[in-house]
Structure 1
Amino acid sequence: MQHYKALGKFGFKSRTLFTACALMAGQSITAVNAAPFSTCPSKAFLFQGKPVASYGVNLVTGSFQLIEDNPGINANINGLGFDEQDRYLYGFNTTDLQVVRMDSDFQVQALNVSGLPADYTFFVGDVSSHHYYLYRKNVGLYKIDLSPLDNDITAALTAQHIGKASVNLTDIAFNPNDNQLYGVDNGTGKLYQISPDTGAAKYIGESGETGTFGAMYFDVNGYFYLSRNQDGKIYRIDLSSVTSNSTIDELQALDVTAIHFADGPSSSQNDGARCASAPLIDEDSPSNIDFGDAPQTYATLLADNGARHLLDGETYLGLTAPDGDYDGYTGADSDDSTLLNDQSFDDEDGVNFVTAFEIGLDSVVTVYASRDGILSAWFDWNRDGDFDDQDEQSLVDIALTEGLNVLSLRVPDGAVAGNSWSRFRFSQQAELNYYGGSSSGEVEDHAFTISESGISYRYYPGENSWVTLAYEDQWPASDDYDMNDVVMYYRTVEVIQDNQVVRIDIKGELQALGGVYHNGFAVQLEDVDTTNVNQQTLRLLHNNIEQQYSGTNGATTYPILETGNSNAVVIISQDLWKQASSVCSYHRTEKGCNQTQSFDFEISVPLINPIEIGTISAPYDPFIFATEGLYHGEMFTSHPGRGLEIHLVDKAPTEKFNSDFYGLADDTSDPSTGRYFRNSNNLPWALEVSGPWKWPSERSPLLNAYPEFQTFVESNGNQGSQWFDLNQAIARHLF
């Protein structure tokens, strides 16, 4: 029987879709033919649709397979349970309102049952001690003795009413440890214990999850599993300590939080059944699962919901497909002892640490992928024995391509020096955690060492402070001069080792876009050669999401480190309007359009050769430029694009600047004297203001909003030095 692992993440809505996908994949679907089941099967069964289709689900990994889609009857079957005594499945035919029995070939046979209320369907049921139990909210719990069927399949059966309960359940399951029924209320997530003797429901605790849990199961250790219809997520509740002697006080003292365990099939309609006395590992594939091998505290063993992957033979790390494990190992690389042709082989060969892990610095890791897939990785930076702390997932859903992939990551400033552990998970699934099951791929755990780096930091303007950059994008014309076309909060961090700068970090928050023109934003790092930037660990984040490019335009992609410049120029965005949306014509410049700030960035520029601390200084040269291919004013005969730059006062432009633009309109730049981006009155087109600054509202000139600015400029900064203070502003002209 073929496992359809790739579909497990996305689920399916009907047996027709699932079968069609299987046929497109060129796989056959084989039915199992027998009368009763020959054993107590470890797989969980899932039933969907009309006519009911039967699936086998591996709760360990979430993978599933179609077993039979022709039950011999055109009906939906719900409320199923597995009878461990006669090894048949029992359920309720919701189409014809009949109790039925299902063989191991999943063919349905109606039973002769009386005593159930007429015209009611039952969607909830399970089997224990050779009795079938059905439940419906506000109707009651019913019990049917199945022993007459041992001698005669046509024997008359009577349903006995046990009692009523008003909890909203879509399935129930018997705990083999105390022989009580358990279920989770869909709307509230409350866990209840239901007595099979009285039908009374006792509140146990909060699962923390809500939704339609159409299938519920137990395993032999007393763990309780919930399969949610909407998204296929499988959760586990730890009831392993419950016994027949457990009191209600002891039960209510348990932590019954539902933990995400695996990702199975989603559906609009689910019901489930399982032999609760069976171990959880599927006997059909006990060694087709890959576990990790970090120490137990890192969620390695199945009992701890350890990381695990169903081996598909296609998705793995390294050159060697991994060997299967019966459970996680808890010694360094201990699952490499598997023998192949009487020789040990190393299947933990997919990850290589290229550089040391030094606190506060960047490291390079290479990962070899057998095919395209998705990688996440966790590092125990604080060495507390788990991957559960902030920033310990250092790689999040990275798309790998087949072959060698070079990745970079940052060792946090708060990391603790010493030996520690990491976990890499490669799969066809996204959003995996450091624990839980996956229907494809491999997990590799690797020990590593965190080293002291002896680094310090120099902040501009301060560790938690900002300067405000404000640009007027009408250059070389002054026009409205409202100085709000691009407004950015900005700060820098220099990472220093042995009195040399080894990395430059720049952070910013876009505050306003008041210009109709489209502008990009970049920083020129004066006195830093382009060739001295380590592109392997160069990193740009937009809203904390790593970017591969500074922007795209159709099939064209623009690099983060711009080529063709002597000084390093890093591009934050090719078009800031693509980073922000507005409910009004402009972004945060018009009265009454007070939407929240929505774009921030961080760029890290590591240096190949460190630079003496006194030879460079912040804020460097942040500037805006015209977006390629878009209109930027009537004075240009064609779209000026990257050749139009606007810098802070007397900052020389980059080598991409079009020098033909000097002297146009109001510009009085004179490169021979070091004069740049001023008009005849010395007014600039770009400002750096200390601290967060209130910018003018749309079409309100800067000189109207801050009258003292003219005095400041005309005196060459000798007077009106606090022109930007709110006490000097005219409030009606501010945003």
Structure 2
Amino acid sequence: MKQTYIATMCMLFASGSAIADPFENCPSKAFLMQDSVAKLYGIDLVSAKATTIAASLTREGAANTSSVNAVGFNYKDQYMYGYSKQAPGRVVQIGNDYDMTVLDITGLPDTNFYVGDIQVTGSGANQEAYYFVYTPNSGLYKIPLNGDLTQSIASIQYTGSENWNLNIFDFAFHPNSNLLYAMESNGNLHEINVDTATTTFITQLDTAGDSGAFGAAYFDVNGQFYASNNKSGKIHKVDLSVSPVVGYTPTAAVFTSGPKSGQNDGARCAIAEVKVTDNSIDFGDAPSGYATTLADSGPRHLYDPDDDGENLVYLGASVDGENINTAADLAAEPIDNSDDGVAFVTDFVGGQNTQIIVTASQNSYLYAWFDWNQDQVFSADEAMLDKVAINAGDNSLLIPVPETTLEGNTWARFRVTDGSEASNISATGGVSGGEVEDYEITTYASDAYPSENDWVTLSYEDKWPFAGDYDFNDLVTHFRSTRYKENGAVVGYRLEGEIIGVGATYHNGFAVRLYDQINASTERRVNRNEIDEANISFTIDGVVQETSPLEAGRSDAILIVMEDVWDYVQKNGGCQYFRTEANCQSGTKVTFSMTIPLLTPKALADSPANVLDPFIFASADHFHGDFMNSIDKRSWEVHLKNRAPTEAFSNELYSVSGSDDASNPAANSYFQTTSGLPWAMEIGAAWKHPIETIDITNAYPKFAAFATSAGKNSITWYSEPQLSKVITSGAQ
């Protein structure tokens, strides 16, 4: 459009002509007339690029001082027509020098027309053009444009049209049926037959939250209807290729985003095709069912809107343009090498949070959709990120995966912008600037213990085999385990938790064995050689851990969460321990998350579940009691009551002199005193642990009855603490 304008203006100046010429061809771009003092923009509907065609217009050589509305493009004579509000208000013809020539139209009421378009009928020598204008109070008028336009032209009023009461701000003629279509502020779509002077309500369209005036309406040669919302700038597309509308219900989709304005009117050559004309457009590449094609208003970004390669907004290391916009293009399964900005740290499991790392070129804004129900639609309730501010570089984000997520392969869509869009974008449509990246992902069903959103509390004493102070706060952690399931088999595990208290003078590590014991004769375990070690993902406080947590040299799968818990927690000033002293109850909890995929699916009946086997062990190179001086530190472990130790455990520890432990491996009795008190506990809720040196039986008076009865009595002991003797923030 810009090139046509420059070339034609040069021709005019060279010839000395003072009469505006028509536009040279039927432009693909849409014209958008905006503002109280009219400005004219060209809108590339594919790329969303808005080009200022005329920063100001003139009216018969003088400066224009008001708005121009009701514009339409006449492809019979290649001129635009509109209604100039500048007093006295008149119908005007606009040529390619953007000077308005006033037409002498009789029979029009003294009002400001803001709804208008051009109807072209017939072909060849029989082709005729008519300019139609409308206001709700005065109705519809028809103005012939076929004779000598320098002469007076009589308008024709459509009797009764003043009673239509259509709350519309623009309309457009269908290129084939010559029916008018218009959209009201609430999305109501109307069809107008000018031959019979009748209107038909078609349907109320879903306009993605837009309301207010749809001030610009267009058609393309394929019968696609476009309506631009003044407030948001969004241009909605409606497939009206079959006209009149009979036997189907049209739907709307956001096609692109243009400039917003309080005053907005549009025109377009209705027989021009909407097509890709810019090489710097990045398209989505999910399968065509995801409304990815241009025909389906697919997602696309004009990533270099200023054509200068500067300050580009994109994800990953690069962005490029590709003309992948048809179903045939997508059927070839194209690979976009610039889709490299999102890394998936943990798996997508129903009911869990998934961590992703998003790398951005600039401070920008991120949108993301996930097809959780695998229906090939990115619906509004599947928008997990909605214009979330991100920084240049790496950004760690959590995605909540719904419990109802179906297992299997599906797709995710990410869109990044500079944030200048007038309103939040959807999973489809064009945007100026930014990038779209589509990813195929795998989702899993799951069973979480204790549940997707709750914790158990694990509490340990580290003086075993001696009783110690029995305050059960040497290590206190919230914990949750999840089995990933696919097609009725287990395909992986997830371990997650948060360290909430460390009251130990010794240095302890924390680990989990993928093992459980159903009864004295039935064990379930995952062997080390069943683990897909290369694809384990592991974070502590959101930081990816580079070393494998799978303990080497073992037959069982043992995952080392922390070799030494003290290396990760931070004591507050003046505190000897971490969140276990009366005056030291605050402190930042340390979180951990580990996803462990299996090499091949494992039968549910053979796969350990529930709390598994979490335990503490003595950290290497630290003192852990005189009795350990000649024994490998790793061989000391404390497990939950009656849970057998791992293969790393030293049986020598069962016979330490002066021990309070009454373990009897032959009777499957482990880690308990003669009275049944344990050294490790699982509490089925978030829990307030005892203050340093306060015996648990004093902090929780009913605990002893629970422990010595093998859990038969006082089963809710943990809900009745002596508040002065516990860390009240322990459960938080």
Q: TM-score range by the shorter chain?
A: 0.5 to 0.7
Q: 1:71 to 1:128 in 2, by over 3 A?
A: same
> How far is the alpha carbon of 1:69 from its aligned partner?
2.0
> How far is the alpha carbon of 1:324 from its aligned partner?
3.4
* Offset from partner CA, 1:638-693 (integer Å, 9 cap, x none): xxxxxxxxxx4x6226xxxxxxxxxxxxxxxxx35458889xxx99xxxxxxxxxx
How do 1:219-238 and structure 2 match up within 5 A?
Answer: 219-238=220-239
Paired position in structure 2 for 1:327: 325
* Offset from partner CA, 1:544-601 (integer Å, 9 cap, x none): xxxxxxxxxxxxxxxxx9633899879xxx999xxxxxxxxxxxxxxxxxxxxxxxxx
> How far is the alpha carbon of 1:143 from its aligned partner?
1.1
Aligned amino acid, residue 447 of structure 2: S
How do 1:476-515 and structure 2 match up within 5 A?
Answer: 494-495=481-482, 502-504=494-496
2:476 counterpart of 1:437 = no
1:315 and 1:371 in contact (8 A); partners too: yes
Distance in 1 separating the partners of 2:331 and 2:32? 36
Distance in 2 separating the partners of 1:294 and 1:120? 50
Distance in 1 separating the partners of 2:492 and 2:428? 41
1:355 and 1:365 in contact (8 A); partners too: yes
Distance in 1 separating the partners of 2:585 and 2:215? 48
Worse-superposed segment, 417-426 or 213-222: 417-426
> How far is the alpha carbon of 1:100 from its aligned partner?
0.3
Q: 1:97 to 1:534 in 2, by over 3 A?
A: same
1:535 aligned to which of 535, 540, 558: 540
Paired position in structure 2 for 1:113: 105
Paired position in structure 2 for 1:67: 53
Q: 1:620 to 1:721 in 2, by over 3 A?
A: closer
2:215 and 2:263 in contact (8 A); partners too: yes
Distance in 1 separating the partners of 2:107 and 2:352? 73
> TM-score by structure 1 length?
0.59
Secondary structure of the residue that 1:147 maps to in structure 2?
coil
Paired position in structure 1 for 2:593: 606
* Offset from partner CA, 1:400-440 (integer Å, 9 cap, x none): 33334444545555444443333222222473322222211
Aligned amino acid, residue 334 of structure 1: P
* Offset from partner CA, 1:327-374 (integer Å, 9 cap, x none): 2531465164xxxxxxxxx33333444555566666554443222222
Distance in 1 separating the partners of 2:454 and 2:539? 27
Q: 1:144 to 1:94 in 2, by over 3 A?
A: same
2:691 counterpart of 1:652 = yes
> How far is the alpha carbon of 1:222 from its aligned partner?
1.4
2:208 counterpart of 1:143 = no
Aligned amino acid, residue 212 of structure 1: A
Paired position in structure 2 for 1:484: none
Paired position in structure 2 for 1:400: 390
How do 1:68-87 and structure 2 match up within 5 A?
Answer: 68-72=54-58, 73-87=64-78
* Offset from partner CA, 1:177-231 (integer Å, 9 cap, x none): 2111111233x53221122224322222212454211111112221222212222
Distance in 2 separating the partners of 1:444 and 1:463? 29
Paired position in structure 2 for 1:211: 212
Q: 1:52 to 1:166 in 2, by over 3 A?
A: same
Aligned amino acid, residue 495 of structure 1: T
How many residues align structurally?
Answer: 506
Aligned amino acid, residue 229 of structure 1: N
Secondary structure of the residue that 2:155 maps to in structure 1?
strand
2:296 aligned to which of 301, 304, 309: 304
Distance in 1 separating the partners of 2:389 and 2:367? 9
Aligned amino acid, residue 564 of structure 1: K
Distance in 2 separating the partners of 1:435 and 1:568? 49
1:262 aligned to which of 239, 256, 259: 256
Distance in 1 separating the partners of 2:578 and 2:90? 77
Q: 1:200 to 1:575 in 2, by over 3 A?
A: farther
Look at both structures and tell me which one has the larger radius of gyration over its CA atoms: 2
> How far is the alpha carbon of 1:48 from its aligned partner?
1.9
1:233 and 1:262 in contact (8 A); partners too: yes
2:118 and 2:173 in contact (8 A); partners too: yes
Q: 1:621 to 1:353 in 2, by over 3 A?
A: closer
Distance in 2 separating the partners of 1:403 and 1:722? 45
Percent of aligned positions that are identical: 33
Q: 1:569 to 1:722 in 2, by over 3 A?
A: closer
Unaligned 5+ segments in structure 1 are 3-28, 337-345, 468-490, 507-521, 540-560, 577-601, 623-647, 654-670, 684-715, 725-735
Distance in 2 separating the partners of 1:378 and 1:538? 24
2:25 aligned to which of 22, 26, 39: 39
Q: 1:194 to 1:502 in 2, by over 3 A?
A: closer
How do 1:226-375 and structure 2 match up within 5 A?
Answer: 226-242=227-243, 246=244, 250-251=245-246, 253-281=247-275, 285-312=277-304, 313=309, 314-325=312-323, 327-328=325-326, 329-331=329-331, 334=334, 336=336, 346-353=337-344, 364-375=355-366
2:155 counterpart of 1:159 = yes
1:423 and 1:445 in contact (8 A); partners too: yes
Aligned amino acid, residue 272 of structure 1: G
1:538 and 1:606 in contact (8 A); partners too: no
Secondary structure of the residue that 1:54 maps to in structure 2?
strand
Q: 1:53 to 1:612 in 2, by over 3 A?
A: same
2:396 and 2:542 in contact (8 A); partners too: no
> How far is the alpha carbon of 1:134 from its aligned partner?
0.9
> How far is the alpha carbon of 1:40 from its aligned partner?
0.9
Secondary structure of the residue that 1:330 maps to in structure 2?
helix
Distance in 1 separating the partners of 2:492 and 2:330? 42
1:492 and 1:618 in contact (8 A); partners too: no
* Offset from partner CA, 1:492-514 (integer Å, 9 cap, x none): 855368999943579xxxxxxxx
> TM-score by structure 2 length?
0.59
* Offset from partner CA, 1:491-538 (integer Å, 9 cap, x none): 9855368999943579xxxxxxxxxxxxxxx95489998998933648
Distance in 2 separating the partners of 1:225 and 1:175? 11
Unaligned 5+ segments in structure 2 are 13-20, 59-63, 121-128, 457-477, 485-489, 512-537, 545-567, 597-610, 615-639, 641-679, 703-712, 722-732
Q: 1:360 to 1:74 in 2, by over 3 A?
A: closer
Paired position in structure 2 for 1:185: 184
1:422 aligned to which of 390, 412, 415: 412
Aligned amino acid, residue 309 of structure 1: H
> How far is the alpha carbon of 1:289 from its aligned partner?
1.9
> How far is the alpha carbon of 1:102 from its aligned partner?
0.8
Distance in 1 separating the partners of 2:300 and 2:502? 46
Aligned amino acid, residue 205 of structure 1: T
Distance in 1 separating the partners of 2:346 and 2:500? 28
Distance in 2 separating the partners of 1:136 and 1:530? 78
Q: 1:569 to 1:189 in 2, by over 3 A?
A: farther
Paired position in structure 1 for 2:661: none
Aligned amino acid, residue 165 of structure 2: S
Secondary structure of the residue that 2:147 maps to in structure 1?
helix
* Offset from partner CA, 1:260-304 (integer Å, 9 cap, x none): 33332221111111111111236xx33332211221111110111
Cα RMSD over matched residues?
Answer: 4.6
How do 1:584-603 and structure 2 match up within 5 A?
Answer: none
> How far is the alpha carbon of 1:618 from its aligned partner?
3.7
Secondary structure of the residue that 2:93 maps to in structure 1?
strand
Distance in 2 separating the partners of 1:575 and 1:69? 65
1:563 aligned to which of 564, 567, 570: 570
2:114 and 2:169 in contact (8 A); partners too: yes
Q: 1:234 to 1:358 in 2, by over 3 A?
A: same
2:455 and 2:480 in contact (8 A); partners too: no
Distance in 2 separating the partners of 1:184 and 1:318? 40
Worse-superposed segment, 319-328 or 131-140: 319-328
